[in-house]
Each structure stands twice: as structure tokens, then as C-alpha cells.
Amino acid sequence: MLYIGCHLSASKGYMHMGKEADGIGANTFQFFTRNPRGGSAKAIDEEDVKAFLEFMKEKNWKYILAHAPYTLNACSAKEETRDFALRTMKDDLARMEYTPNQLYNFHPGSHVGQGTETGIELIINQLNECLTPDMTTTVLLETMSGKGSEVGGRFEELRAIIDGVKLNEKLGVCLDTCHIYDGGYDIVNDLDGVLDEFDRVIGLDRLRAIHMNDSKNPFESHKDRHEKIGEGSIGFDTMVKIINHPKLQGIPVFLETPNELDGYAKEIKMLRDAYKEQ
């Protein structure tokens, strides 16, 4: 079973996203919990969520993935920015409980000159304040390209965060193909080697979502510029290997490529056509 979708605008609510995803051949989707540049979130429309949960059940959909705003930086050097990150994540996680047992992804953050170790410590502190024993959401750390002072460009950094979090059974990882290729993990020439490395350092059981993006830049460029599937330095063949890889079956795949809906529909069809049911 291939769970595949793309990033959608959340401005018209859950049911709208569900129908939109269904209309382009998707069976999951990603959305921002609020404006990606920050700010407050719209109040949850309980009727809309209820209808959407019903729709998911009818369609046999398993996952949706919420993405935290880019401005959320748990390891900023500024206390006020860290405070915003903490309040935003707490609020997002409370909202996530309207759609139980789903996935919430965030960028670990940028340490802005404080050093990776301090960055990791601050991220751990935030997660220890936000995660609660009774929450049903799995919080995903996204693999990053390592541009600027980003934390999470190495699998070891994500491991260190997981190790420091008390309730780390609530944590998983979202693997972004553009980011890790930019970050120096050669999924084009050695996909099995990269997956072995992920398994050794983090554990494949933590891998809960894949962001499938091609890259505008060459291997190890630490740039983070997404390209359409098959039009960048990673290429279509590697994407096909990923969706068909026996170790990656059942993990939902989300496109964050530079596309409007029709472009996403085309990429979803291309990938579905290349998928072999196992």
C-alpha cells in the first residue's frame, strides 16, 4: 500500500484538504498548523474535524502530517524566540488531539552560533516541556540539509535529541530526501548504505514519514532548494527505488515540490505508476 500525498493549504479547513487530496489521487496530505512564518492559528472547527475523520475512515486513510511553522526555533539564542517556539508547539500539540494518533513534524532548529551541543540541549528542554504521557500524537524531527547553523543535518544529532527526551516513545523522524542528499547522504549511489546508517544511528522503527523532494543543487551542497520530482540532482530512478524499498513500505510519502495542484497530481500519478505492490 502506497500512502502518498503533498503539501496543501490549510486555509479552508480539514474537509477541504481531504477532498483536494482525494481529487489529485492522494491518500494523505501535509499542512501547516498555522502561517508558516508564525502567528496565531485559526480556531479548530469541530464540525469540520468530525466530518473529516469520518471521511478518512470511509476512504481508509491512515495518516495526515501537520508541519510546524518555519519560525519555530527551539534553540534560538533569544529567549523570546524560544518562548514563542515553546508556546506554539504546546498549542499545536493540543490542536493535534482533535485528530488523534497523527503526525506532527518540526525543524529541530538553528543554534545561531551557540554550537550544536547547546542547540541540542535547548531542543531537548523544549520537548521535555511539551510532550505529555497522555498525548496520542507522534512528534517528528525532520532531517535537515545542514545549511547555516541548522541542527539535524546529521543522524547523530537527531539521535542525541531522542536520547535526551524523557518521553521519547512519542518521537519519530521525518526523512527529507532533498535535505539528506544536500546534507551528504548519497541516496543516489548508495540508498541501502544510507538506510543502514539511519538504522544503526537512529533505528528504522523511528522513521515515520518521508518528504519526497528532488534537489536543485548537487550532492552535499547544504542549500535546501526543492525541485520537482525527476528534474533535479536526485532523479526519478532514486525516488522509485525509495517508494519500492522493502524497508520503507507503509511509511507515508509527502511531496513538497515547487508545484500547484495539477503538478502534484502529475507527480503522484508518476510515482503510483512506478509503485509495485509488495
Q: Which residues are catalytic?
A: 37, 67, 70, 107, 142, 176, 179, 211, 224, 226, 256
Q: Which is nearer to Fe ion, 120 or 173 (CB)?
A: 173
Alpha-helix runs per DSSP H in the chain: 14-23, 46-59, 79-96, 116-130, 155-164, 177-182, 191-201, 236-244, 261-274
Tell me which residue has its CB nearest to Zn ion.
224
**From candidates 155, 224, 234, 238, binder to Zn ion by CB under 5 A:** 224
For residues 61 and 28, is the Cβ–Cβ distance under 8 A? Answer: yes
Backbone angles phi, psi at 245, to 5 degrees: -65, 130
Neighbours of 104 (CB within 10 A): 23
All three cell numbers of 149, joined, read 547553523
Residues 13, 14, 18, 21, CA torsion sign: positive
- Assign 91 to helix, strand or coil: helix
Q: Which of 211, 212, 214, 255 binds Fe ion (CB under 5 A)?
A: 211
Residue nearest to Fe ion (CB): 211
Sole window of 66-74, 96-104, 218-226, 229-237 interacting with Zn ion (rule: CB under 5 A): 218-226
Phi, psi dihedral angles at 246 (to 5 degrees): -60, -30
C-alpha cell of residue 138: 507522534
**Site residues for Fe ion, window 125-164 (CB under 5 A)?**
142
Q: Does 226 bind Fe ion (CB under 5 A)?
A: no
Range in contact with Fe ion (rule: CB under 5 A) among 11-19, 113-121, 174-182, 214-222: 174-182
**Least gap, CB of 70 to Zn ion (angstroms):** 9
Distances 4 to 130, 208, 264 between C-alpha atoms, Å = 29, 13, 11
Query: Of these partners, Fe ion, Zn ion, none, which one is at the site of residue 224 (CB under 5 to 8 Å by kind)?
Result: Zn ion
Look at residue 211 and give the partner it binds from Fe ion, Zn ion, none, a contact being a CB closer than 5 to 8 Å depending on partner kind.
Fe ion
Tell me how far, at minimum, the Cβ of 9 lies from Fe ion, in Å: 16
Stretch that binds Zn ion, among 73-81, 167-175, 220-228, 234-242 (CB under 5 A): 220-228
Q: Which residues bind Zn ion (CB under 5 A)?
A: 224
Q: Which residues bind Fe ion (CB under 5 A)?
A: 142, 176, 211
